[in-house]
Amino acid sequence: MGSSVLRAALSAVFSASLSVLFLQPLPVRSLTSYANDFVDPAFILAKNFSNVTVEAQATIVQWAQDLASQGPWSVTNKSVTPPSGDKHDYMSWAPYSWPDCSKAGNTTELTPEQIWTTCPYVTKDGQFNPDGRLINDVGEFGDLSDAVLYNALAWALDGNAVYSSNVAKFVNTWFVDPATSMNPNLNYAQLARGPNGQIGQHTGVLDLKCMSKLVSGVLILREGKAAEWTSDIDTQLTNWTNSYIDWLTTAKIALEEEAATNNHGSFYYNQLAALQILVGDKDGAKQTIEKYFTGIYMNQIAANGDQPLESARTRPYHYRAYNLAAMITNAKLGQYVGYDAWNLTTSKGTTIKSALDYAITQQAGDEAASELWPNVVAVGAIYGDDGGKYAQFMLKNAGSTYPEDAQFLWNQPFSDSGLVKGAAGNNSTSGSKNNGATGTDPSVGTVPDNGASAIRSCWTVLAAAGVTAISLILS
Ligand SMILES: *[C@@H]1O[C@H](CO)[C@@H](O)[C@H](O)[C@H]1NC(C)=O
Ligand SMILES: *[C@@H]1O[C@H](CO)[C@@H](O)[C@H](O)[C@H]1NC(C)=O
Ligand SMILES: *[C@@H]1O[C@H](CO)[C@@H](O)[C@H](O)[C@H]1NC(C)=O
Ligand SMILES: *[C@@H]1O[C@H](CO)[C@@H](O)[C@H](O)[C@H]1NC(C)=O
Ligand SMILES: *[C@@H]1O[C@H](CO)[C@@H](O)[C@H](O)[C@H]1NC(C)=O
Ligand SMILES: *[C@@H]1O[C@H](CO)[C@@H](O)[C@H](O)[C@H]1NC(C)=O
Ligand SMILES: *[C@@H]1O[C@H](CO)[C@@H](O)[C@H](O)[C@H]1NC(C)=O
Ligand SMILES: *[C@@H]1O[C@H](CO)[C@@H](O)[C@H](O)[C@H]1NC(C)=O
């Protein structure tokens, strides 16, 4: 969407309550899909937002519209049929798996379908097999979870029923409508191909980790009593989720994923706790979060704040940021159900803050530095920013547009470094205004929103997860 069209659209939908936005230039910021998050619906519905978040609010509305224009999404859209013969089954392929047809015994060229079932597949660590994109259930679910979150937030910000209708339509298409709904299992996620394959792997459970974003959006509409979020759709989504929770807590590959000690395990708990909250089982969610923090969390952060299970991988900067997002999401979910994990220490006496403090001292190399930024703001908001080191990190690395980032709305209080015009700003924890910033390109933190090449974390991180998965298998 061109920026002038976007501004016109924004003008048309904004209510007077957000008119403060038009006192300043609107940001035009392309979508960043965070690795994961959970947003407390009560905080959003109270609408007691700091003035430093006005630009983040505009970003959220823009992202809601951008995403909505791409939906709805459905597992039945894929052109490949899962081994069950039922396109309603969710499916993805192991990302670094390649066919070796040299001993397949064929006398002529094989069709793609013959290759998938007759050639043995071998793992080439870190090399993404591009044919994985023939099936995009993982990318579609990533877009769905972002679309639900941002459209629910946009509804809360300005009350326009277009956004709540979008959420209802997208949820109905993916989960409820018999013509397009997903069966409540991940039996064919990160499928291993080849003659002995055709079964899903535990690493594929990660594909739906962004359920906690989707649940955040649904809770906003449910607790905000949006008229378009009907009791009918709520009941049917809850019914689906109960069936899926059964799968997630009993299927062999789901339990293998729960047992993973690294980010895979952390994200499993994100997903399960969020879904338990969705179905009204807050006690179950609390037990889930407690199991994480008294279980695998204990060995995830070393004495110096490093995360040894992540930094041993091929892309340590990415993996530290990635598991931090999962840990932070688990702690936010815990906070929501009355389990305070922020100050819980690991067996090495460290906290989530220790992990962040270590991660910000590391170089990104050729990895995407922007992955860490939402974690920096979240940790600064929760633990405070004495001396303003987190705000200074953001100014130096994310650049002068960091208060435009969507997560700046819900990770508060956090200093805007005096950057948001008319905010009656908050310089108490920041260093200085942008004058001293070291000129990082502000666009670095964003991703071009140009369809196919746009980065979607629930998609790219699948590839990243593959590295972990393969490392686990090889180690
Ligand atoms: C609104 O937020 C401010 C800043 O966090 C806080 O001081 C104030 O108590 C809040 N107001 C209400 C009604 O919750
Ligand atoms: C995916 O499926 C939904 C529901 O059938 C449909 O509305 C949508 O257009 C499809 N999207 C694509 C890209 O095919
Ligand atoms: C067997 O199939 C593979 C994959 O299509 C192809 O590369 C190879 O040339 C085929 N072998 C023969 C002998 O045709
Ligand atoms: C509840 O979900 C199950 C499994 O998804 C489905 O078979 C059943 O039809 C649903 N029932 C209702 C009342 O929606
Ligand atoms: C952590 O504990 C300290 C000391 O009891 C307390 O002041 C602080 O608020 C706690 N932080 C969080 C995030 O709970
Ligand atoms: C936000 O801005 C309004 C209008 O400029 C002002 O009245 C209000 O005090 C500000 N609130 C805060 C928390 O700075
Ligand atoms: C924030 O700090 C800058 C310089 O450090 C100053 O120019 C600006 O007026 C301050 N903003 C507010 C609202 O105090
Ligand atoms: C300013 O920062 C302080 C301390 O972090 C916080 O309590 C307050 O709510 C912030 N005010 C605004 C308007 O962000």
Each residue of 30-41: pLDDT tens digit?
Answer: 899 999 999 999
Å from CA of 47 to ligand 6 middle = 13
Å from CA of 413 to ligand 1 middle = 11
C-alpha pair distances (Å), 267 with each of 96, 167, 200, 344, 356: 21, 24, 18, 18, 17
Task: Verify whether ligand 3 is closer than 6 Å to residue 106 (CB atom).
Answer: yes
Å from CA of 187 to ligand 7 middle = 55
Residues in the chain: 475
Ligand 2 contacts (CB < 6 A) are 72-74, 77, 173, 180
Closest C-alpha among 172, 190, 146 to residue 34: 146
Closest C-alpha among 149, 154, 162 to residue 57: 154
In this structure, which residue's CA is closest to atom 8 in ligand 7? Answer: 418
Closest ligand (CA of 144): 2
Q: What's the token pair of residue 457?
A: 């974390």
In this structure, which residue's CA is closest to atom 14 in ligand 3? Answer: 108
Please give the pLDDT value at position 232. 98
Each residue of 46-65: pLDDT tens digit?
Answer: 999 999 999 999 999 999 99
Predicted structure pTM score = 0.83
Q: How far apart are CA 107 and CA 130, in angstroms?
A: 25
| Cβ–Cβ < 8 Å for 340, 280 | no
Task: Verify whether ligand 3 is closer than 6 Å to residue 114 (CB atom).
Answer: no
Closest C-alpha among 369, 350, 360 to residue 392: 360
Å from CA of 293 to ligand 8 middle = 29
Cis peptide before 72 (omega within 30 of 0): yes
Closest ligand (CA of 100): 3
Percent of the chain having pLDDT more than 70? 83
| Cβ–Cβ < 8 Å for 210, 189 | no
In this structure, which residue's CA is closest to atom 4 in ligand 5? Answer: 343
In this structure, which residue's CA is closest to atom 10 in ligand 5? Answer: 343
Residue 385 has pLDDT above 70, yes or no: yes
Q: How far apart are CA 241 and CA 264, in angstroms?
A: 21
Task: Verify whether ligand 5 is closer than 6 Å to residue 343 (CB atom).
Answer: yes
Residue 455 has pLDDT above 60, yes or no: no
Å from CA of 403 to ligand 7 middle = 15
- Beta carbons within 8 Å of 384's beta carbon, 6+ residues apart: 429
Closest ligand (CA of 340): 5
Please give the pLDDT value at position 16. 29
Of the pLDDT bands very low, low, confident and very high (cuts 50, 70, 90), residue 98 is: very high
Residue 148 has pLDDT above 60, yes or no: yes
Phi then psi dihedrals of residue 91, to 5 deg: -150, 140
Please give the pLDDT value at position 413. 96
Å from CA of 58 to ligand 6 middle = 17
Where does 35-160 have alpha helices with state H?
A: 41-46, 54-68, 112-118, 137-158
Please give the pLDDT value at position 28. 66
In this structure, which residue's CA is closest to atom 9 in ligand 3? Answer: 109
Ligand 4 contacts (CB < 6 A) are 184, 236, 239-240, 243
| Cβ–Cβ < 8 Å for 72, 181 | no
Residue 222 has pLDDT above 90, yes or no: yes
Please give the pLDDT value at position 433. 29
Regarding predicted confidence, which is higher, 460 or 137? 137
Å from CA of 50 to ligand 8 middle = 8
Regarding predicted confidence, which is higher, 455 or 289? 289
Helix (H, G, I), strand (E, B) or coil at 258: helix
Task: Verify whether ligand 3 is closer than 6 Å to residue 111 (CB atom).
Answer: no
In this structure, which residue's CA is closest to atom 5 in ligand 8? Answer: 413
Nearest-atom index, ligand 7, CA of 427: 1
Closest ligand (CA of 45): 1
Nearest-atom index, ligand 3, CA of 108: 14
Residue reference for tokens 């049929």: 81
Closest ligand (CA of 233): 4
Q: What's the token pair of residue 327?
A: 């840990």
Q: How far apart are CA 415 and CA 403, in angstroms?
A: 9
* Residues 3-13, mean pLDDT to the nearest whole number: 35
Of the pLDDT bands very low, low, confident and very high (cuts 50, 70, 90), residue 424 is: low
Domain boundaries, the chain: 260-367
Nearest-atom index, ligand 5, CA of 384: 13
Nearest-atom index, ligand 4, CA of 184: 5
- Beta carbons within 8 Å of 343's beta carbon, 6+ residues apart: 351
Å from CA of 433 to ligand 7 middle = 7
Closest C-alpha among 211, 176, 205, 203 to residue 74: 176
Residue 12 has pLDDT above 60, yes or no: no
Average per-residue pLDDT for the chain: 85
In this structure, which residue's CA is closest to atom 3 in ligand 7? Answer: 433
C-alpha pair distances (Å), 319 with each of 64, 211, 264, 364: 28, 20, 11, 11
Each residue of 333-358: pLDDT tens digit?
Answer: 999 999 999 999 999 999 999 999 99
Phi then psi dihedrals of residue 391, to 5 deg: -60, -40
Regarding predicted confidence, which is higher, 136 or 448? 136
- Beta carbons within 8 Å of 14's beta carbon, 6+ residues apart: 21, 22, 61, 158
Q: Of 3-17, 79-93, 423-437, where does the model show the most confidence?
A: 79-93
Of the pLDDT bands very low, low, confident and very high (cuts 50, 70, 90), residue 301 is: very high
In this structure, which residue's CA is closest to atom 5 in ligand 2? Answer: 180
Q: How far apart are CA 460 and CA 136, in angstroms?
A: 12
In this structure, which residue's CA is closest to atom 6 in ligand 2? Answer: 72
Pairing type for strands 91-93 and 188-191 reads: parallel
Q: What's the token pair of residue 425?
A: 């700003």
Nearest-atom index, ligand 8, CA of 52: 14
